Amino acid sequence: MFREIAAGEDDAGSMSRPQKPRRDEARPSAPGSTRLAPASPADATTTHLTFGSEADAASRARQVLTEVLAGLSVPAPALENARLVITELVANALIHGTVPFDVEITTWPGAALVTVADTNPTLPELRRAPSTEPHGRGLVIVDALADDWGVSGSASGGKTVWARLVWPVEG
């Protein structure tokens, strides 16, 4: 699933979904605005987690996501994409957000919505880090793997970053 990316190679093109148009400029998740997470259908189920500054938060969130998706006939590539997306969102919350922060995994047939909410009002920006930078690729990965994603500010002054992943439903 993972491979090293040569300097200058477009990392989004190496992921498991079709390449999107390249966006070199820093930008919030939606040009000029924030976006609310899509509404979940009535048959959705939600798992809620709260994390502090635990070093294993991303690993624990990934483990819970894997358990939640285990019974949903998620194809292996979609499962790996979802695991990487939740890892990046939780890592970003640990590095750039505030603790505690909340993670919700909402699922319904053929889809999952992952949300990470914290009290830091600073909205993340999708930017392409230079190849010499050791960090700054989390949202680029989320953008490449998620079917949709965004960020919304909250009335209490924090924010929620979300990603929606879909896969074919058998039957």
Which pLDDT tens digit goes with each residue over 149-167?
A: 999 998 888 999 999 999 9
Domain limits of the chain?
Answer: 39-166
Residue 112 clears pLDDT 70, i.e. is over it: yes
Q: What is the DSSP string of the chain?
A: ------TT--GGGGSSSPPPPP--S-B-SBTTB--PPPPPPTT-EEEEEEE-S-TTHHHHHHHHHHHHHGGGT--HHHHHHHHHHHHHHHHHHHHHS-SSEEEEEEEETTEEEEEEEES--PPP-B----TT-SS--HHHHHHHH-SEEEEEE-TTS-EEEEEEEE-PPP-
Confidence of residue 34 (pLDDT cuts 50, 70, 90): low
In CATH terms, the fold of domain 39-166 is Heat Shock Protein 90 (3.30.565)
Report pTM. 0.77
Which pLDDT tens digit goes with each residue over 56-105?
A: 999 999 999 999 999 899 999 999 999 999 999 999 999 999 999 999 99
- Could you tell me which residues come within 8 angstroms of residue 62 by beta carbon, excluding any fewer than 6 positions away? 83, 86, 87, 90
